[in-house]
Copies of this chain bind each other. A is one copy, B any other.
Amino acid sequence: MRIVIVGGVAGGASAAARARRLSESATITIFERGKYISFANCGLPYFIGGDIKEQGSLLVTSPEMLKNRFNIDVQTEKEVTSINPIAKTIAVKDLKTGVDYTVGYDKLILSPGAAPIKPQLEGIGLPGIHVLRDIPDMERIHALINKPKLRVTIVGGGYIGLEMAEALIHRGCDVRLVEATAQVMPPLDPEMAAFLHTELSSHGVMLLRNVSVTGFTKEKDVITINLSNGKKMLSDLVVLAVGVRPETALAQSARLRLGPTGAIAVNSQMRTSDPDIYAVGDACEVINLPLAGPARIPLAGPANRQGRIAADAIFGKKTAFRGTQGTSIVRLFTITAGMTGANEKQLKQAGIDYEKVYIHPMNHASYYPGAKPLHLKLLFNKKDGKVLGAQIVGQEGADKRIDVLSMAIQASMTVYDLEEAELAYAPPFGSAKDPVNFAGFVAANTLRGDAPICHTDSIPGKAFLLDVRTEKEHESGCIPGSYLIPVDELRSRLSEVPEKSIIVAYCKVGLRGYIAQRILMDNGFTCLNLSGGFTTYSLVDNPKKA
């Protein structure tokens, strides 16, 4: 069996190692266009930022190691230029010598990845405009930022854009981030992304939202960036981080079917439309769970699992890729944003009948020193309570809760399951009622009708807005037009609440609002609790807001 793998990072390297573990007799060859195989591409920004000191530590393995340990033949700086699926051969160009040659295969695994998008803009090819995909890209940027106060403009606020913003601030650059949409980190909903906007600004990143780049010019060493708002920005360096495009040229050379997203279509065994060709990683299309639709979700975890599965499939093992729910995480200075499953934008678009709740609990027992708030948005099916998605921004413990909720989604658990979830508690780690339980309580109370909620964008027009916080809190900021009755005084001041209005109660985070709501509902009032309270309200960009 001759197994040929195109691309030696993440998915490709995983497939090769797994294939060898399944067969000592197979011939396994990896062709990698670049100089390095199996490098830690997720680590590139951290080397630039200085967290990672040794470039060598990014090299997870080497051709020698793959040869010695796995008897895998690694051919670097060899570009596969086309596939002949009838003859079952690939055309290879040796990038060092320029020599072209042909190699046969029995099974071919494509792991070409995705390339940074370079939009068709005037001046896009000017020197000083960089992308960050591989180690040579990283080396180039790293070598250029040693000057103090270097003006660096990052275009695009996704993972790479944010990680680069952090890295470049750490290195003393004057950093600007230009984002064409209203928010950074597109998998988050806008009100959750608001925390990232604040974090960027408070660490000195100049953030421009709703502004796109229309072109570049360069004079001497200075790049002028033309912006859609008519302004110009001077920059010494530009990092383009506007997303990636699956590398499908090779697949197209073999007339492999592409999916509706433009990536390579595969079945759950990662097999393409050609029975002897597999594709894994960022170049292929996956099923997005729980939306059940095709998607491109370029993440390292799924790529690694896909590589393993492709090798399993070749050797007749019964494993299947289940799709991905986009579970991911990004650290930005002092905060962490995690996300899993569908976001609200996607649920709306898919027409799924969802509800959402917001909570703002502490990451561990508040009486234990160092407790820090988590901000959690939970999305769930309005009918059966099934968890559909979650977004968390916080510090320590944010990663834990997003993983717990990711497992809940994978296991088709409901908000009722979250109420009963048993999580490890000791004061340094959590609370007897964990944030995950709290999210379940709030969501289940809503679905059971015990505590109906509303949101900033769905406060009924003629509602009586009731602030149940303290006078001091009310005076330091409140929803315009709201009436103050602190929750502890509510029972004795019920006569001040209009009987025929819909009451919308709110507090700081939603807990006192809920207690007030229960008092009111049990006294015959109609009352909604504003989910997430004034904290969530303050995050939402809403024209209805004063």
Contact = CB atoms under 8 A, between A and B. Distances in A.
A426 B42 contact: yes
Contact of A427 (B42, B299, B317, B416): B42
A99 B327 CA distance: 61
Nearest to A370: B51
A424 interface: yes
B425 A40 contact: no
A519 interface: yes
Interface stretch (A19-27, A215-223, A226-234): A19-27
Given A368-B46, A424-B329, A399 B324 contact: no
B427 A522 contact: no
Contact of A429 (B58, B331, B410, B427): B331
Interface in A353-405: 365, 367-369, 399-400, 402-404
Interface residues of A, number: 89
Contact of A410 (B367, B368, B422, B487): B422
Oligomer: number of copies: 2
A54 to B, nearest CB: 9
Contacts of A299: 425
B425 A522 contact: no
Contacts of A325: 422
Contacts of A427: 40, 42-43, 46
Interface stretch (A66-74, A101-109, A115-123, A272-280): A66-74
A138 B72 CA distance: 63
Most buried by B among A53, A327, A339, A399: A399
A60 B331 contact: no
A412 to B, nearest CB: 8
A426 B331 contact: yes
A433 B159 CA distance: 19
Contacts of A428: 331
Contacts of A448: 317
Most buried by B among A24, A57, A448: A24
A300 interface: yes
A301 B422 contact: yes
B327 A422 contact: yes
Nearest to A396: B396
A539 B464 CA distance: 65
A304 B43 contact: no
Interface in A419-436: 419-430, 432-434
Contacts of A345: none
A533 to B, nearest CB: 16
A408 B42 CA distance: 27
Contacts of A42: 365, 425-427, 432
25 contacts: A21-B450, A21-B514, A21-B518, A24-B518, A25-B522, A40-B427, A42-B365, A42-B426, A43-B367, A46-B368, A51-B369, A71-B491, A300-B425, A301-B432, A301-B437, A325-B422, A329-B425, A329-B429, A331-B429, A399-B400, A399-B429, A404-B407, A407-B407, A408-B411, A411-B411
Interface of A: 10, 20-25, 40, 42-43, 46, 51-53, 57-58, 60, 68-71, 159, 299-305, 317, 319, 321-322, 324-325, 327-331, 336, 338-340, 365, 367-369, 399-400, 402-404, 406-408, 410-413, 416-417, 419-430, 432-434, 437, 448, 450, 487-488, 491, 514-515, 518-519, 522-523
